[in-house]
Every structure is written in C-alpha cells, then in structure tokens.
Amino acid sequence: MMRESLDPAGTAGIAGPSGARGMGGTDTPPSAAAAPAIAPGASRPVAGPSAEMRRFSAGLRVVTALMCSMLLISSKPAIDLDAGFTMLVYIAWAGVLMWSDARERPLVPGLAAYWLDVAWACAMMWHFSVGNMMLMLALVHPVVLASIGYGVGHGLLLAAVATLAIAIDPDVGRAPLPTAERLGGAAQYLLLVLIPAAALLARPMRALHRRIALIDEIEAGLDPRRGLEPLCAELVERLRHGTQADVLALVLPSRIGAPAAIASREDGGFRARPEVHQALERLLAQTGTQALSFTSRRWWDPRARVRVHAGARAPRTLVAPLEELARLLDVAGLHIAPLTRYDRQHGHIVIGYQGLRAHRQDLRALIDAMPELLRVIEQAALVDQLQDESASHERVRIGRDLHDSAIQPYLGLKYAVECVAMRIPAENPARAEVDALAELVNAEVASLRELISGLRTGARGGDNALVPAVRRQARRFALLFGIEVEVECPESLPSSRALAGALFHLLNETLNNVRKHTQARHVRIALHGEDGAVTLRVVDDSGSVTGRAAPAFHPHSLHERVAELGGSLTISRRDGLDTELLFRIPT
C-alpha cells in the first residue's frame, strides 16, 4: 500500500503551462530532468493487434487457405485457370505473412492484410458455387481480429463490405449464396447477418485487448526508480495517449506531499498548483470509492448524467460536484476511477473527453489496471523515501565532519583575534580595526554553524537565509577592500537553501571581479523576488570613476553557473559608463 511517509521534497520540480484551459492555473513548464518528453512512437493509442495476435492470425490464415483450397478442389471436378491462380497466390501470400510475423517484421501495416483476406474469400465465392458455407466461415477470421485489434467499427465496415460483395451475383449463372429452396425460407438473409454479428460479438475481446495492452504499456514504459514526481508526469501522458482522452488527471493525496499530475491534449503533462490540487481533492472526495462516469447533457435530455460502474443507482448529490469538476477540467464527459486497495483510498484517476460520447471501456481498462498502477506508484514513493533517508544520513555525516574539521580553525582564529583585542588599549586607533576584524570572524563562525545545523537537521526551504548572507557579504567586502557597498533588498526573501547558496556564490564572484578588474569605489546590490524568480542586480561605478566606459566584460564562469540554474544573465552599460549585471534565476 502507498506509504503515509511519502516525502514532500520528492515532489518538487514538475510544473505546467499557465495557459492550460479550464485548469484554474498551474506552475511553470517542467524541466527536462523532471518530466522527460515522450519520444514519438514511445506511447501511442492502443490500436492494432499485439505481436502474439498477429502471429496467431498469420497461422490461422494459412490453415484457412489450405483447408478451403482442399475443400474446393475435392468438390469441383474441374477448376478454371483464374480460380486456381487465385488460390495459389493467396496460399503463398499467407505463408509470406506468417514468416514475416514470426520474425516480428510485418510486411503489411494496419488493416490491409484483413482487407486482402476478405477480398480473397469473396473472389473464391464468386468462382465456386459449392463450399460457400466454408468460405463464409473464412470471412469470420479477418472480421473478428480486425474488431479486436482496431475496434468494432472497423470490423463492422469489413463485414458490411463482405456481405455486400457476396450478396451481389457477378454472374447470372452462379449463385454465391446457397439458394433459399435448399436452406429454407429466411436462411439466405440469416447468412448475410452472420458476418456483422461476428464483429459485434468480438466487442468483449476488444475491451480485453485494450486492458491487456494498457497494462503492458505501464509495465514496459515506467521506471519507479526515477521517483514519484517524474513517474506521475510520464504516467498521465501515457494513459492519456492510451485512452485517447483530451484530459487525464492523476490526483494523489496532498496530505502526504504527493502531486496532482495532469496531461491535456494541448499542453502535455504538468503538475497542478496547490490550490487546483485541493479543489480536485475536494470534488473527488464527494464521489466515494466507486468508479463512475459523468456526461454533461442539455436540460431537455432525459438520460442519466451519472452512471456508477458497479451498476448501483447514482445519488443525485453527485451531479453538482461532477459538473464543477467537468468545468474545472474543461470537458464534457469524464470517467473517475478510484485508486483503492484494502478499502483504503489512495487517490483518483480522472479521464476527460471534450465530446459527449466517452469510451466506457477506458474506465473498465483502468479499473483492471488499478493494482498494477498502485504497485508502480508505491514503488516510486518508496524510492523517494529511501533517497530522503539516505540523504539525511549523509547530511548528518557531512555536518559532523565539518564541525570537527572546518570550524575548528575559525574558532582558533576567533580566540586569537579576541585575545589581541584585549591587549590593545581602548584609546589606541588600532583597537577599532581589530574589533571590526573580530566581529567579522564571529559572523563567519556563526554562518558556518548555521550551515552545519541545516545539514544535520535537514532543514528545507532555507527560510530567509539569502538576505542575511548578502548583507554579511556586503559588510565584509566593504571592510576588507574599502569599496562602499549599498544593499537594497526586502527584509525577507524565502528561498530554498540550494538557490540561496547558488545566488551567494554568484554575488561573491561578481564582487571579486569588481575588485580585481575595475577601479570602482561604489557598488550597488539590488535583490528582489518576483514572478516566480529571484533577480540580483549588481552595478559598479568604475566608468564614472575613470570617465570612460569600462572595457567589454564576458564572464564565462558566471554565464555557465546561470545556465546550470536555468536562469539568464544580462550585462549592460548604464549611461554608457557604469557596468550593470542582471541575474534572473527561477525559483
């Protein structure tokens, strides 16, 4: 079962386009690492027979051709050249198809092979007036397999063409169907109904084929080792392609930090924002634990809008939340399949269609695939949990090592500077500089202790770690190098610890470049958070000091660091003199 200890941190990184229709709002597009795009052909709608079914069909085709040919030869005293040539060509063709399918290299794509089977059977019935019953049974093979592999509509089309072909007598002297006098009154018409009936009777097999293909695709295409968030993003894409839906949503419990992943035909896969996730959960909680379908209808349409999969009567109270859910996903019809095991709710899968006619076999296929889906999701959740526990142990070890090694020299320096300060009289001018140095060392020791504490406790989010670090760095830079630094930033700017560390390194390298390569006397730092990104602006007055524009500046290391963070760096000249660096890093 899905573990309640699912790590919320394992669900960061996937977002969706802000323009998703009817979704109420989503985050930014996913990164390639978090939600890899599905390669063309990697996840297609479930169409066509499987490899095993093609091999079975190829063997059955050869057997049918041989049996029908032997029956016709034994029952016909003389066979004309056209009929004999048609039989031999078809037998050879059936053998070639069987050989190619056995090597998993099919020669004929799609329905073409079944159309050729129907054409051969009809041609044989035109050539012979005996053995028609056997040849009519030969038509059942392509009609049934086409219905299973490609849908009942294709099977009915094949059956209709075959029925029309054998009902038309191409030669007045031959009767393609047994006469009514031989078989009795309505038998001739019953035979014409036999072939389309075979297509309709194959519908349960078509539904079973879709279920098996859907489960096989889940098993073959998903890797739980990648973690819960990437797996959910790819799962909704594959399920949407497999069910040919317009929108598909996988809504997992938000209380354990699991995501709500959505895939739409226009926008692809993305993660819903927290408020959308909560709205989906609120509406789905009212549907209970039964699989059901909903279709929007006009006020004058008397048909039921809600149908329960198990056959129970749907309560009227479900209509309002399902209508709201359909509006939220911008669909006209939807199926809801609950993720349940041992009477415990683990989320929902919602399939949405723009049209009013939704495929109920998609719901049945998902219900049958639910145990496999839960198994894959639980494995991915367990991977996240194991990774978090391993990272926690590693953080504790690194923090302990840093405390025992890196911080000790700073403590020795701290005590030495304080000892020197105590030996210098207060009226001595050097006392102020030593006190400032002692304050700087104390600040560095406090910063190291904060870093080690964060490592050992595994604190996430960093809270407001960036702003104090920038202010401390500005004071230290001004004290050590005599360059005035002005800082403009809010009192609080929450960010992840990783982002705070990356921005701090960017600022430190920028200030070092100013110190080494310019004659600046004043640096202005502006730090702001807006529109899902943090902007860092650094301006120096080197151009104003020298009276000429600073030389061209192309910091390759800064560009590389910013690119790794998915941000941008813009370098410009203010008033044609001073240099301005603008960093924009997405949060």
Distance CA 286, CA 352 (A): 18
Thinking of the domain 8-42+222-370, which architecture would CATH place it in? 2-Layer Sandwich (3.30)
Using a cut of 0.85, tell me whether the model's pTM lies above it.
no
* CA 37 and chain centroid, separation: 8
582 vs 342: CA distance, rounded Å: 55
Record the tokens describing residue 488, joined without a space. Answer: 């403009």
Helix, coil or strand: residue 156: helix
Contact between residue 148 and residue 180 where contact means Cβ atoms under 8 Å apart: no
Q: How many residues does the chain have?
A: 587
C-alpha span between 510 and 570 (Å, rounded):
13
Q: Are 538 and 524 in contact (CB under 8 A)?
A: yes
Q: Give yes or no for a contact between 177 and 332, defined as CB atoms under 8 angstroms apart.
A: no
| pLDDT at residue number 317 | 86
| Strand-pair partners of 249 | 262, 350
- Give the separation between CA 235 and CA 347, rounded to whole angstroms: 14
Q: How many CB atoms lie within 10 A of CB 300?
A: 5
- Of 338, 360, 216, 329, the C-alpha closest to 265 is 329
Q: Which residues pair with 571 in a beta bridge?
A: 581
Tens-digit pLDDT profile for the chain (587 aa)? 444 433 333 333 333 443 344 444 444 333 333 333 333 333 344 456 667 777 777 887 888 778 777 776 776 666 667 777 777 888 888 888 888 877 777 777 677 888 888 887 777 777 665 445 566 667 777 887 777 777 777 778 887 777 777 666 555 444 444 444 444 444 445 555 666 666 666 666 666 666 666 666 666 667 788 888 888 988 898 888 877 889 999 999 988 888 999 999 888 888 898 899 999 999 999 988 888 889 888 888 888 888 887 766 778 888 899 999 999 999 998 999 898 877 788 899 999 998 755 556 667 777 777 887 888 888 888 888 887 777 777 767 776 666 666 677 777 887 888 888 888 888 888 887 788 777 777 777 777 776 666 666 555 444 566 888 888 888 888 887 888 999 998 887 877 767 887 888 899 889 988 888 888 899 999 998 877 789 999 999 988 888 887 777 778 889 888 988 888 999 988 777 888 999 998 87
Q: Which residue has the tokens 């030389």?
A: 551
Beta-strand ranges (E) seen in 392-503 are: 484-488
**Distance between CA 326 and CA 318 in Å, rounded?**
12
Q: How far apart are CA 463 and CA 470, in angstroms?
A: 14
Residue 374 burial (C-beta neighbours within 10 Å; 0-12, 13-18, 19+): middle
How far apart CA 68 and CA 83 sit, in angstroms, is 12
Cα 123 to Cα 3: distance, rounded to the nearest angstrom? 63
Domain boundaries along the sequence of the chain: 8-42+222-370, 51-206, 406-460, 461-587
As a whole number of angstroms, the distance between CA 367 and CA 378 comes to: 17
DSSP for residue 6: -
Three-state DSSP at 448 gives helix
Pairing of strands 268-271, 484-488: unpaired
Kindly report the number of other CB atoms within 10 A of residue 319's CB atom. Answer: 14
Measuring CA to CA, which residue among 316, 305, 311 is closest to residue 291?
311
Is 3.30.565.10 the CATH number for 461-587? yes
Work out the end-to-end distance of the chain between its first and last CA atoms, rounded to an integer number of angstroms. Answer: 33
